[in-house]
Structures are given as structure tokens and as C-alpha cells.
Chains A and B, each alone.
Chain A
């Protein structure tokens, strides 16, 4: 029986080895796949059993976890939820996470590899595993000013510190209350989410960074920058500014918003054309410079690039291969030019920053649960968009827009403000988008702002009427802080 016993021993051993192989498959090889299966409550329960780290503005939490006595041990609470929703996003058992809750999840949840040692210490110390903290670059006063300014409107505001690229304000309107989505009552969460989805003003859309709009006349700043950078034009160069501009290759007449000529005899300086937002002069200028020069200039400000702040922003676009008529329309920010509010704030900031475009960022610092910093914001150049000399010339021109042109509502007593209005048509008879971009103080700016109000009227004055006051309030909030 020796031989058959040996065989039996081998057979039973094979069975045990098969079990070990299978166990390795499910516990090691298929682990990630099983853990990420929809409907796996364990992943969720583990996540909620930890105290998730807070998201801070000026050391005050705008999102924090508080302990509860239900199965999910911690509830995410948002102080002033809707005001900061564009930055925080939400953290939901039903719909997952968005915004910083998603982008900084490794730190907030404590899963970040850099937190490994902390995690081990907590585990062996028998303490609950905690997540790390994320401090934003947001300025509470600027955020509030933007939030108050957008009240009752559909639109968005982004404010940037020009020298660093730090995002000081990022507000959407309408917004949502992330508390309604972080509730542990999934029925309530579902109902609230559905009501948000059904809202035609799309409160879940992160307008400041995720929605692109035609930038309208604010894009003339980019065209003016290209003109100065070409070396062929100076602020006092004379441009033709007739009552209408016939789009090349067609019989379509592009009018000025005033309906009149831009200067005596239809001739106007570049600075004056910008100050009064002369369409015909900029349309002509666009074809003088050519689409490639416009696109190059736009790209140096950040168009055609996707930025992660770490929130992923939509890519702003300049049309690929426009004909002369389309180039003329693109030069005044129409046709297929599309920009996020963040992008136009970057244009404004770069000019104020001596022509250097900075990469935008919204995270000031991430820290371990014991508040030891993990990573601190570091300003990073994106491109030299203009020479410092040309940036100074353009700044002076933009000061002229506010002091003697279309942007009068952005004036701040005692502070020189540079700005540009815009009104973009999206379609005939649809409400236009009122824009305002600005920075202040003009000589050494501490803040650059872009405001887009989407349900505006159809007149060029709406940029000044609707958007400029919001920009002014945001700038004032930063400057007085």
C-alpha cells in the first residue's frame, strides 16, 4: 500500500496547494479589481470608518468629518457648503467624490503612500487611522465677495494671485450644497442629486473651470498682446476703425457695438480701440497679424492646454484653421474661440505679472494628520507670454479701459485698476455672456479676476454693468485683506 499511500498524500497535497493558489488569486492578483467593484460596501465602510482630513481656508475648515453613531462612522460636513462647492466638490456614498474631495482623496483618506508611516503608527498604537489636511489657496473674503456678487445670477468668478498663480477665489452660481450629497441617507441624497440634475441652470457644473464660453471682447486683450509682440504695432499706432468691417470673402458687415465709427474719419489708435472696444479695428488687426500669430499668443496664455489645479480644467480653444472672415471674428473673441473663466483670469494675471503666465493652483499645502507638511505650493511658470515692456504697455492700455473707456465700474478709489469688458454672443436672441477681466493695483498687482455672467443682456455695456462690479468687489476684498 506504500505506493498508493504516497500517491494519496500527493493528491491531497495538490488539493491544498490548489487552495493556496486560488487564495493568492483573489487576495493578491484580483484584489484591486474586487475592491473597486460597484456594490462592494466594504471599500465604502473602510473609507467611512476613518476620520477623513479637513479641507481648510485660512485655517478654518470648509469640509470636515464629524463622528456619527450610524454604521458609517463619519459624516462629511461643509461649512458654507454652496459658496465653496466649486472647490471642495462633494463626497457621497452614492455618487462618489468630486472636486478637491476627489483630487486630494489620497491625502484626505490617509491612503497616500507618504502617510504610510503615520498609518502604521496609528495602527500599532491602536488609534483610529486619520486622514491628512488640505489647505486651499482660497481667500475667504474674496470668495465671499464673488459669491455675493453672483447671487441670483448664472455665472462664475476666478481670482488669481498674478505673481504665483494661486487661486484666491473660485465660485460658481448656481451652486449646490455638498451637505445634501454627503448625507448618509441615500434616499435623500438621490432625491437631492436628481433635483440638481433636473435644474436647467446646471448647479452641478463647475462653471469656473469646466465650462468654456466665447470670451467676446475680453479676447481683444490677447489680440492686442499679439499686436504688440509682433513689433509692428505700438499703443499709439493708427488702425482703421470704420463703422462696419466687411468680412473678407463675404458680404457680411461686422458693425461696432456703438453703431458708429471708432474715431474721427474712422481712424483710431490701438489704445483707444481697446478702450472703447472697437470691433472693426480689432477684426482688421486680426487679419493683419494672421490666425497663427493669434493662436501662438493665446497658447502662451494657456489656451490649448489642460490644467490641473489639481481640479481638472477644461481646455480653452482657439480655432484650428480659420479663413480670413473667421480670423476676424476670432480676433474679437467670437466664432469658435472658447475660454474658461479660469483661462481669462490667467490672461489678466499674466499681463499684470510682467508677461509671465503662471500655472494655476488651488492647494496651498497638504499635511499629515499631525499637521506636518507633506507638500507646499510652489509657483511654477507656464510661459513667457509677452515681454515685460509690452506687458507694461498693455497694462497702461487696460488702465485706460477702466479710467476712460468701457470698464468704468471697476474703478477703485486710490487704486489703479487695469481691466477689459466683454460681451459674447452665443447665438442670436439668446442672452449674451457679460465678461470682465481685470487686475489691481495695475503696477504691481496682488489680484487678477475674471467674471463671466451668463444670463446677461445683449449690449456691450453689460460687461461693465454686470461683471465689472463683481470684479471690483473681489479685488477690493483681496486688497483690503
Chain B
């Protein structure tokens, strides 16, 4: 399972540098190392979810109570969270930092991921959620920091799409 450990470490360290104290997650292949890093970090509250939409409520509660959080999910998890994003985070102007593994793009071999990959960005655009790709190591730290900065200044959800070129080590 050639998920990049160095890239996962870069992402995790960037979240820590941004003061993230709670991570909600639902496992997916590209997220395994990130979830393990959160699990092994005694300073991090890791909440394993049954469904990604719960993470919107968790992040909203944590935020209002004073803790910065990040959500780790697959793009299908993002699709499953849309009502919570709209009717909790956007309705109540709650910042969310969503790290979404962008499955189903060029290079995808799993047939079941391909439909979600094609609609993810359209849904983000329809929801007016600012987003950027994380697709190379050199911009990971500052894109995460800048995404979080906007989320908190605008009081709204932002998304970073974790791309194959960053997450998957394969020729």
C-alpha cells in the first residue's frame, strides 16, 4: 500500500503547526498514515466517526468551545456530509478545515471511486467552498496554513483536495 509516509508527515506537521487540536476521521486508504499519526500523538484528540457528517457537528462544537480542528475524509465522505456543511457550518458561519482525499481522478484504478471523483469539485463550487489542491510537497505547509487562515477570517468551510501525486508513491 504505497501511501506516502513523508507526504502524510508533512500534512500532519502542518496541521500541528496551525494549532489543530482535534481531528475527526473516517478511514480511507490514503489517510491511513495521517490517522495513525493522530492516534500516536498524545496532544491530539482523534475522533473516529461512523459517518463523515458527524465530523461537521464535532468540529462546530470544538470550534465554539475554542479548539481548532481538521476533518479527514474521502471525497465520498464529503459528499455524504453536504447537508451538515450547509445547514450547520454555513448556516451558522462555522469555519471547517476539510482535508479531502481526491479519489477518482487521473490514475485511479478502483472503478468504484471514479464517479465521485468527477463531481467533487463541482459540488465544492456549487457550495461556494474555497478549495485548493495539495499535489506536491513544497506547497503543503503554506496552503494548509492559508486555507485555515481564510476559514477563520471568513467563518466558513474551506477544503484541501489531497491528490494522487502527493499521497500515492507509484510510477
Does B associate with A? no
| Residues in B lying within 8 Å of A, measured CB to CB | none
| Residues in A lying within 8 Å of B, measured CB to CB | none
